[in-house]
Structure 1
Amino acid sequence: MRVLISLLITGLLLSGCAAPLKVESVSFRSPETIANHQEIDGLVVAVVPIDTVEKSKEIFRTDMKTANILPVHVIVRHTGTKEFEINHQQMFGMQPDGSYDVALTIGTAAEKVRSSSIGTTAVQGAAAGAIAGAVIGAGIGAGIGAAGGDAGAGAQAGAIIGGTTGTAAGTAHGLSDSFTLEFKKQLAMHAFEDKVIYPTDMAQGFVYLPWKPYQKFRMVVFDIKDGTRKELVFPISISR
């Protein structure tokens, strides 16, 4: 019985602590089938802004605009014979006035999510779950203790099972950093980092920009064999 009770309360706590931002899997099409693509010596690159609520929730399980972040999906397929390097630090969003916005680092993007309503809602839910677990645990423990002739000891044991001994007031503060780390892990899981693209390779990932009404997306491809750099500028539009 006690094992069953512990499992039930653990489930409650874990459900309360589940971060709303989670990238489980990403499906994509070959870049040459996407309208907004370009090709250099067999290297085909497509960019797709994730700018709708539906698409954002499909991939990230939340609306990233809430954190003022625009994910841009970069998809690459190499059908040629050369080797290319793509540096994610040379990816920029271009605004109508011609100004550039550099892609956010994973750490900065995670902090923006944490400081948004996405993060505060997650922490508040986790804190509420911990407190609820303590209350339920104390009540169950008291019942077990009463059956054994010591309700006070039972309540104390139940509170421990529930996840706290009276210090739940600091739960939200204590969870802040853990949620930031979790958001960082999720964002990094499918981020488009620096890559060398070899013949027959396919690669994909997300670049995180501040949410603005961009009209173009700029990136640079480095031809390793020739030692030359080529700039690609994609027209894009943001729906919100």
Structure 2
Amino acid sequence: MGRRTVYFTDSERRAAKRAQHAKYSKSEKGRAAQARYLAKRSQPPPLPPPPSPPPTSATVASCVRLPDDMLSRARVYNPVSSSYREVYGPDLGLRTHPYTFKMPDAKTLALVEEDSDEPLDLKLHTLQSRWLCAEGTLRFEEWSAGQDDGVEIVAAGTTELKARIRAWRAVAADTRWTNLARQLREVYLDWGAKQAVWLAEELDVRQKGCKVYAAASSDLPPQVLSRTNQEYLDNMSA
């Protein structure tokens, strides 16, 4: 081992360190280290990592364009009959794909009109309302039992929603209907609008998860409609 140098004062120690550093800087090894340091300083600093995308908050209603006139019709309450009890009748094409308007034949309309003396359109409004509430209950049972994220449910529901909007737009743009057909077309447009808009709203809730969907059961459109119908009928009989 080499002999260890003994310094008697701090100034001697600092002077020795400076001399050692100067000697190293002039050596080949010191010059190489200095070159690496300068090269590193001349490089631009690394770019910061890109920010994480914000969590998506897109709703079905915001991703699928709902026509303004469809939204307007969906907000209007259509009265129902207190005495019309039938559960079968013309659905005007609203219950099956492709959801286009179907004009009932004369025999079907005659059967509906024979049931009571109430206006035909009131009976049809009552039927559509009754079906919407019943199907809403079945849908809630099905959607409550699916996967929590509801990806498949929302995807299938969105496909149905787009088909309903396409069919509704086509009927709304077709003004050739006259007389009775025009009257039934109005019923179709009223309930076609409600079916589409309310489906979009329910899908928005379902995509938040099963627990959120279950907790919102009483505020889903079919349940709200059922209560509104009952309040309307109670007021009519008061």
Report if TM-score (shorter chain) is over 0.5: no
TM-score range, shorter chain: under 0.3
Normalized per residue, the structure richer in helix is 2
- How high is the TM-score relative to the length of structure 2? 0.23
Normalized per residue, the structure richer in strand is 1
